Amino acid sequence: MIRFILRRLLASIPVLLLVSLITFGLLWLVPGDPASMFLDAGATAEALDRVRREMGLDQPFLVRMAQWYGRVLQGDLGQSLLLNRSVAGAILERLPVTLSLTALAFVVSVMLGVAAGVLAAVRHGRLADQGMMTLALIGLSIPEFWLGLVLIWLIAVMVPIFPAGDYVAFATDPWQWAYHIALPTFSLACVQMGFVARMTRSSMLEVLGQDFIRTARAKGLPESYVVVRHGLHNAMVPIVTVMGIMVGALLGGAVVTEQVFSIPGLGRLIIGAVLSRDFPVIQGGLLFLALIYLAVNLAVDLLYAAIDPRVRLE
Amino acid sequence: MSAAAHTATTVAPPPSSRHLAFLRRLLANRSFTIGLVLVGAVVLMALLANLIAPFDPLKGNFKARMVPPGAGHWLGTDHFGRDILSRILHGAQVSLRIGFLVALFTAVAGAVIGATAGYFRYADGPVMRLMDAFMAFPPIILAIAISAVLGASVTNVVIALAIAATPHTARVVRASVMVVREMEYVEAARALGAGHARILLRHVLANAMAPLVVRVTYVFAIAILNEAVLSFIGVGPPPPTPTFGAIIANGRDFIVAAPWITVAPGMAILVSVLGLNMLGDGLRDVLDPRMAVTTR
């Protein structure tokens, strides 16, 4: 297992280097002069010079790249052009908000999605199956930011059950946090719920058709025990493998959902930076999200290897 | 399946009847037919937008601002007095065109990159590490960043969304190419002296198409969803171009006073994406029954 972990860690080094190269190269895609894109058309030559210097644009490409790597390796993502503070500081301050929203949506979508998928598989071909799968398909096809807006209209304004925003930090008041984050979580979890439900159903159907399930039933085990212990435990393996992809989708969705519900997280920071062309913040945010995603995928791979020893030999 | 393969070795049926049989199997699939009807309806409405839209989608009317749905304006008007139905019909044109172009570019780029990595062993490592690096970014964030950097326009939105969707597609193509590469008919073609280009195009890619077709259908659906996100955030095609996402963004501030501005275009996205997802499910059932459910 230790050898597997070491090999997996080593394999992620080239990917990490490429990820940071892509993030750095993003600025190179800017048509024309990034500094003049950040400033207005009427900016003075001095202001342009100052921003160019702040962004390091007065240096040759390779020098800039070397400097970028040197700084990033020390955890320095540079200065925001707009916020007048360090990019890393601004990101770290907002990260917990985004991570808590993502984590909560992840738990909700896995729990409800697995439950729906198991129910559909057990009632294969019947009304409950068709109903669940129709719901899952619709969930998969709904634009999550639009669902958020509709939920605000229906469940926050028309029938005021949950608040439509006004984020409360978990540290301030856990109950208020849960109450205020309920609607964003649901609108974010919806898509992945549909996805998990469909995966669980097809995986369960495959497992439930196998010989050891028939044996378990023939032994006289109660049906619920067969479905959960023998069925679900084996059916979860393919679901674990896609958990990494799910977290990526949820992180991306969280960025947009924060915008709808005015939640002060990483997403609002990045989108604010996007709209004001604050390039260092865009780059820093991208790099951070990619690092989180890579770390999650590493954890998923290790978890997978722990569940299924055959993986370690590949 | 084995029966069909058997007849193929003895007397190959004329291609037209094989295609007919395939079409018949597709049309017997409920998911595919429903999807086809939904997508067909949306495409038809988009194509006929210039003829059937009751109003100019860009022209406001200050006497008819935020009119609720009713006889004159079936889906109401927005805060400029623009007819929502007309904007949705014209928006469908833009949004579907973006989705189609993204699907097309992703299919070509995914096929080229995936086939290169899957067929040439020495290319596999470097190419796939690069794809892994692109896949480390949540796709929508990558698209937002690229679109923001390139500047807002229809072309740049297509580029951004295609870049975000290509790595996963390349991985799908690579996986099926690696299976086909080892087939006996590929070895036979090589033994007959066929070059790499001929083997790749005529034998490998032709036989590895099924997963790509399915994936590209889903990419179309994802592109419509993600275009809406980009427009909603403000890095989509610049106003006043109507797109599904842009109309929703307009309605956002009036979600309480005039919910129809927001609700109707969202339903249009839902119908288009649902239709495409059902098409994809149907294609998958018929072409490639073993493929797992795909994600966004």
The one-digit pLDDT tens for each residue of chain A (314 residues) are 788 888 888 888 888 888 888 888 887 777 666 677 676 666 677 777 777 777 666 677 777 777 777 777 777 777 787 777 888 888 998 998 999 999 999 999 999 999 999 999 999 889 999 999 999 999 999 999 999 999 988 888 877 878 877 787 777 788 888 888 889 999 999 989 999 999 999 899 989 888 999 999 999 899 888 898 888 888 888 888 888 888 988 999 998 999 999 899 998 899 988 888 888 888 889 888 888 888 888 888 888 888 777 777 65
Residue type for A91, please? Answer: I
C-beta atoms of B150 and A289 within 8 A: no
C-beta atoms of B270 and A149 within 8 A: no
CB within 8 Å of chain A, chain B residues 142-161: 142, 144-146, 148-151
Q: How does pLDDT run across B12-51, given as a tens digit for each residue?
A: 566 677 788 888 888 888 899 999 999 999 999 999 888 8
CA distances for B125 relative to A21, A41, A144, A171, B132, angstroms: 18, 45, 36, 45, 10
B272: its two tokens: 């288009």
B72: its two tokens: 């004159």
The closest CB to that of A275, out of B146, B234, B274, belongs to B234
Quickly list DSSP for A250-292. HHHHHHHHHHHHT--SHHHHHHHHHHHT-HHHHHHHHHHHHHH
Residues of A in contact with B139 (CB under 8 A): 248-249, 252
Residues of B in contact with A256 (CB under 8 A): 140, 229, 232-233
Report the residue of chain B nearest A281, measured CA to CA.
Answer: B145
CB of A272 within 8 Å of a chain B CB? The answer is: no
Residues of B in contact with A248 (CB under 8 A): 135, 138-139
CB within 8 Å of chain A, chain B residues 239-268: 245, 248, 251-252, 255-256, 259, 262-263, 266
Q: Do the beta carbons of residue A301 and residue A8 sit within 8 Å?
A: yes
The band of B234, judged by pLDDT with boundaries at 50, 70 and 90, is: confident
pLDDT attached to residue B292 = 45
Higher pLDDT, B61 or B180: B180
Dihedral, A118, A124, A125, A131 alpha carbons, nearest 10? -10
C-beta atoms of A153 and B256 within 8 A: yes
C-beta atoms of A15 and B133 within 8 A: yes
In the predicted structure, residue B266 carries a pLDDT above the cut 90: yes
pLDDT attached to residue B12 = 58
CA neighbor of A200 nearest in space, from A133, A141, A128: A133
Question: What radius of gyration do chain B's Cα atoms show?
Answer: 22
Q: How many CA atoms lie within 13 A of B13 on its CB side?
A: 12
**Alpha carbon distance B187, B201 (integer Å):** 15
The band of B290, judged by pLDDT with boundaries at 50, 70 and 90, is: low
**Alpha carbon distance B278, B34 (integer Å):** 7
pLDDT attached to residue B183 = 87
Average model confidence (pLDDT) across chain B: 85
C-beta atoms of B292 and A238 within 8 A: yes
pLDDT attached to residue B293 = 44
Q: How does pLDDT run across B88-97, given as a tens digit for each residue?
A: 999 899 999 9
Please count the helices (runs of H) and the strands (runs of E) in chain A.
14, 0
Q: Which residues pair with A86 in a beta bridge?
A: A79
ipTM passes above 0.85: yes
C-beta atoms of A143 and B233 within 8 A: no
C-beta atoms of B145 and A256 within 8 A: no
Most confident of A20-24, A85-89, B76-80, B245-249: B245-249
Residue type for A291, please? Answer: L
pLDDT attached to residue B4 = 45
CB of B295 within 8 Å of a chain A CB? The answer is: yes
Q: At what angle do helices B209-233 and B139-150 cross, to 10 degrees?
A: 60
Report the residue of chain A nearest B247, measured CA to CA.
Answer: A146
Q: How far is CA A30 from the centre of its chain?
A: 26
**Alpha carbon distance A147, A124 (integer Å):** 29
Q: Which residues pair with B77 in a beta bridge?
A: B83
pLDDT attached to residue B3 = 45
CB of B221 within 8 Å of a chain A CB? The answer is: yes
Q: Within B120-208, where are the H helices? A: 121-135, 139-150, 154-181, 184-191, 196-198, 206-207
The band of B163, judged by pLDDT with boundaries at 50, 70 and 90, is: very high
CB of A249 within 8 Å of a chain B CB? The answer is: yes
* Exposed/middle/buried for residue A162 (C-beta within 10 Å: 0-12, 13-18, 19+): middle
